[in-house]
Structure 1
Amino acid sequence: MMRVVVIVLLGVHLAYAGTHSLKYFYTGASGDIDFPEFTAVGLVDDGQFMYFDSNIKKAVPKTEWIRQNEGEDYWDRETQVLIGSRQVFKYNIQIAKERFNQSKGAHTVQIMYGCEWDDQTGETDGFRQYGYDGEDFLSLDLKEMRWISPVPQGVPTVHKWNNDRADLEGRKHYLSTVCIEWLKKYLEYGKSSLQKTVSPQVSLLQKDPSSPVTCHATGFYPSGVTITWMKNGQEHHEDVDLGELLPNEDGTFQRTSTIRVTPDEWKKNRFSCVVEHQGKTVTEKKIRTNKETSVPIAIIVGAVTAVTAVILLVVIGVAGFMVYRKKKGFKPVKPSDDSSSQRSTNTLISSGSGSSTSS
């Protein structure tokens, strides 16, 4: 039977230090699907703190820290913003379908926007991207102050929006100032829970000796985790599939990495799954099979000077999340105002100016 080692590397790192983020994900859907017509999720440091969909028609808190620090006025404003955004998304889907010459089927338009702040260097960043049917459609290049599109169907919108300098300046102000201010406020609200560090529980799962082996890390917080397969002490990337970062109901995260290797290759080599996280908890793990047989797995505790948090960010579907893959990472935004979440949602119609609402 194959032998596999799981190595959990514990990084010595201040859990609350580093890069923090405030991100929003809007998803509009059309067609015959068992999913709300419009959903919105807000996240701080990749943890969900608010939710809205077109079925419940109300923005609701998802953490105690936001519930305790913002009252009904805040949630009423959020609700009105998102009700307006729902209508814009209906227009966006129709326009996108026309651009792509589509008349039937299920389709989605998504916006990802937000900002990041490094509390050690003071550096900030902001982003806004649109996707259609899971593919890149538009993105805002803040350094160049212009919209870009990888597809010809997005060119009419690019031309229109790049000529609206006032809108571009407003978004720049939001990303560099307003969004960062609200991110810091939310971090202060939730510092007792956002400062927590929970190490991953790691399991190796396998159906039978000839099946792929899945390295499953779950229950960790914050979200930055790296899963690497090693072969005879060297990094091994062949026939490895890294799964999406996914949220757990308790606010922690999970991620998997699956490797496909023949039983003979397992016997002749020493493979290991290395899980890197800035945590402190290590527990015993086993290979689990359908037959409930298992091989003990050694847990080797090491130390690393730094752990690079590679976060593949995602948008929203099951229990509030529908995965949206980004080839180059995912990047979101916000407009400007003195209110907590002044936001505008552009339409894709090249002759339209979009709608804006405040929350």
Structure 2
Amino acid sequence: MMKVLVIFVLGIHLISAATHTLQYFYTGTSGIGNFPEFMTAGVVDGQQIDYYDSVIRKAVQKAEWISGAVDPDYWNRNTQIYAGNEAPFKNNIDILKSRFNQTGGVHSFQLMYGCYLDDDGSTRGFYQYGYDGDDFLSLDKSTLSWTAANPEAVITKIKWETKERDFAEYWKGYLENTCIEWLKKYMGYGKDTLERKVSPQVSLLQKDPSSPVACHATGFYPQGITITWMKNGQEHHEDVDLGELLPNEDGTFQKTSSIRVTPDEWKNNEFSCVVEHQGKTIREILTDNSSDSVPITIIVGVVAALILLIVSGVVGFVVYRRKKGFKPVPQNRKFLIISFIITH
């Protein structure tokens, strides 16, 4: 289960680096009981807009603001497209298990792709595969080449660069044009929601006197936030662990930075946590920890956020099998992927 979580959390980290983003996440899994074997989700500026999995077998809306922005048949079309990708995607897990000399166990195969639009008008795009929580293969759209993260991915890299170059050309065009066009549309559809500003609630939490102190910021939007630890008025970076950006169920975000402080340090110095968001600064000062500690609640929050990622966000994509390896969508089925892109 944690292997499946890893790459989606990485995806959340990626979106925090750009002003506006449109991303898609696809995941296939095997060996996890009572868990969908195939899932998809689209995310705009950190807000999930749709979801599909192999259990509900229906593309569903996840953002209220998108309901009046698409035609009535939008969800039926997407349901057919997603359902058509399930079986081939599962086959790819079997292919990779063979390449990695694996038999049973929990396995996941994932794709993340999307585009960024910054305030200055500059754009970027990415398209990358992962297997069992690690990088597998990624597209360099400037050279139309593929970067293999391990020897097992080289087989695919060579095949796609020699026999399937149109696959890279297609995705280069999508990332640089179609993706940006749809991102701008979604920004217009969800303007009131995507441009809202909500300040964070900040708490200092500790499990027990010997545990790290967590500075937990939650309920903020948009996602850009800075959490800094200060020691006697100066920035302090030693023994500090900055956590990942995580989504809350209401569309806001949470983030935690932890610091480990010895009793002597705490007694002889002033430590504080400074949170900056949308031009506002919140400062929380650590007090004496000699009294009994209240059980930390951040642990529950993080677990809940990860469960949310699993249920509504971690998803997979299809690369079709031909003979002994991966290949892009066969010509007679490419309309599925093209239709998927056009509707987004």
Same-fold call, TM > 0.5?
yes
Q: TM-score, normalised by structure 2?
A: 0.80
Cα RMSD for the two superposed structures: 2.8
Alignment partner, residue 39 of structure 1: 39
- Whether 1:345 and 2:300 are equivalent positions in the alignment is no
- TM-score, length basis structure 1: 0.77
- Counterpart of 2:309 in structure 1 is 317
User: Matched residue of 2:88: which SS?
Assistant: helix
- Residue 68 of structure 1 is matched in structure 2 by 68
**2:9 paired residue number:** none
Distance in 1, Cα, partners of 2:251 & 2:269: 37
1:286/1:321 Cα in 2 relative to 1: closer, same or farther (>3 Å)? Answer: farther
Q: Which moved more, 1:344-353 or 1:65-74?
A: 344-353
Aligned in 2, Cα 1:242/1:280: closer, same or farther, shift over 3 Å? closer
Instruction: Check if 1:99 corresponds to 2:99.
Output: yes
User: Identity percentage over the alignment?
Assistant: 57
Counterparts of 1:73 and 1:281, CA distance in 2: 46
Displacement of 1:213 in angstroms is 0.5
| Cα distance in structure 2, aligned partners of 1:80 and 1:71 | 16
Q: 2 CA distance for matches of 1:316 and 1:94?
A: 27
Please say if residues 229 and 271 of structure 2, whose CA atoms lie closer than 8 Å, have aligned partners that are also in contact: yes
Aligned 8 A contact 1:198 1:280 in 2:
no
Structure 1 residues 65, 292: closer, same or farther in 2, change over 3 A?
A: same
Instruction: Report the alpha carbon displacement of residue 88 of structure 1 after superposing the two structures with TM.
Output: 2.4
What secondary structure, in the 3-state scheme, does the structure 1 residue paired with 2:174 have? helix
Q: Helix, strand or coil for the counterpart of 1:72?
A: coil
- Residue by residue, what CA displacement relative to the aligned partner does 1:7-41 show, whole Å, maximum 9, x if unpaired? xxxxxxxxxxx721100111111013342111111
Q: C-alpha displacement at 1:215, in angstroms? A: 0.6
Question: 1:12 matched to which residue of 2?
Answer: none
User: Quick one: structure 1 residues 279 and 62, their matched pair in 2 at CA, closer, same or farther if it must change by over 3 Å?
Assistant: farther
**Contact 2:167 / 2:328 at 8 angstroms: preserved in 1?**
no
Q: Which residue of 2 aligns with 1:158?
A: 157
Residue 275 of structure 2 contacts residue 282 of structure 2 at CA under 8 Å; is this kept in 1? no
Aligned residues: 303
Moved more, 233-242 or 189-198: 233-242
Q: Which structure exhibits the higher relative contact order, with contacts defined as CA atoms closer than 8 Å and separated by 6 or more residues?
A: 1
Greater shift, 92-101 or 349-358, is seen at 349-358
The 1:228/1:72 distance shift into structure 2, 3 A limit, reads same
> Who is 2:226 aligned against?
226
Contact persistence 1:201–1:220 (CA under 8 A): yes
In the other structure, the counterpart of 2:204 is: 204
Find the aligned partners of 1:61 and 1:198 in 2 and give their Cα distance.
23
- Counting only pairs closer than 5 Å after superposition, residues 1-359 of structure 1 correspond to structure 2 as 19-118=19-118, 120-163=119-162, 164-278=164-278, 291-292=293-294, 317-322=309-314, 345-347=318-320, 350=325, 352-354=327-329, 356=334, 357=336, 358-359=339-340
Shift of 1:286: 8.3
Write out per-residue CA displacement over residues 41-97 of structure 1, whole angstroms, 9 at most, x where no aligned residue.
Answer: 111011111111111111111111111212331111211221122222201111110
Cα separation, partners in 2 of 1:316 and 1:128, compared to 1, 3 Å:
farther
CA contact 1:39–1:53 (8 Å) conserved in 2: yes
CA distance in structure 2 between the partners assigned to 1:258 and 1:282 by the alignment: 16
Secondary structure in structure 2 of the residue aligned to 1:198? coil
Which range is displaced more, 345-354 or 199-208?
A: 345-354
Aligned letter for 2:310? V
Instruction: Call closer, same or farther: CA 1:95–1:258 in 2, change over 3 Å.
Output: same
The answer to whether the 8 A contact 2:206-2:294 is kept is no
1:152 partner amino acid: P
* Structure 2: stretches of 5+ with no match in the other structure: 1-17, 296-305
Distance (Å, rounded) in 1 between the aligned partners of 2:270 and 2:116: 40
Compared CA separation, residues 169 and 238, structure 1 to 2 (3 A)? same
Shift of 1:321: 3.7
Q: CA deviation at 1:264?
A: 1.2
Distance 2:286 2:218 in 1: 15
Is the 2:219–2:248 Cα contact (8 Å) retained in structure 1? yes
> What is the distance in 2 between the residues matched to 1:81 and 1:24?
14
Say if 1:292 and 1:166 are closer, same or farther in 2 by CA, change over 3 A: closer
Q: Is the 1:112–1:130 contact (alpha carbons within 8 Å) kept by the matching residues of 2?
A: yes
Determine the C-alpha separation between the residues in 2 that align with 1:316 and 1:102: 29
